[in-house]
Structure 1
């Protein structure tokens, strides 16, 4: 099956590298395919003795800039592509963006990293699969 609009969730992890590589290969099968890449940053807050600590916004921005630079390097030979950067709940933003752009396939890694490099043990991919009204390809 050929897909015309492929959405890839990318966080800079090894699993998302594999997901992006797979999505590029799928998109190249149909020269009319558009590749949509979404990066969502979601800086966690920490409860320390009843006070909430939020990392400085500069850390968030620097991390996202690094991720976008990595994406641009990986897609340098692919022309029909768009990169979207959003903030918020990762699975919710993936699903919302997929609906907005009328994606016909979502590609995600089986496990990824959050903005601080901590493992998210498949909860994002599981949530996307459970709630997506379109096919989801999980790359291991």
Structure 2
């Protein structure tokens, strides 16, 4: 059985726990592949001048490069060094929607994320990305504590 396991990282310890769980799972499934994903929260609903939009685009590209360099590439290299087939993706967007879309685009069979706790007013009003992902994902989601 071949499986593509998508690991959602957020740059925290929760992501490290997700990687550890995904490695264990992938080690049990012959021919499995790991896809490390980092989503940068980004709202398309900002009205700006053309000059501001050009700066915004440049900033987006810089953020992607930074996330790839600091979070995704080290994770992918570590997974490959441990003998796993792995690759990485960084994208802007709504975390839950984008992580699910990347999973579907890449024929992922499961998503693994770490639970990081968001508290307070924002979570009560909008919910967390993890909650939204669990409720709306097209594949099973494992939330690692």
**Count of residue pairs the alignment pairs up:** 129
Q: TM-score, normalised to structure 2's length? A: 0.72
1:87 aligns with 2:67: no
Structure 2 alignment gaps of length 5 or more: 44-55
Higher helix share: 2
Q: Which structure has the greater CA radius of gyration?
A: 2
Q: How does 1:1-140 map to 2 (within 5 A)?
A: 4-42=3-41, 57=59, 60=63, 61-75=65-79, 76-111=81-116, 123-140=128-145
Q: TM-score w.r.t. structure 1 length?
A: 0.75
**Structure with more of its chain in strand, by fraction:** 1
Unaligned ranges ≥5, structure 1: 45-53, 114-119
Question: CA, structure 1 residues 14+69, in 2 after alignment: closer, same or farther (shift >3 Å)?
Answer: same
* Alignment RMSD: 3.2
Provide closer, same or farther for how the CA distance between residues 3 and 106 of structure 1 changes in structure 2, counting only shifts above 3 A. farther
C-alpha displacement at 1:29, in angstroms?
0.6
Moved over 4 A (4+): none
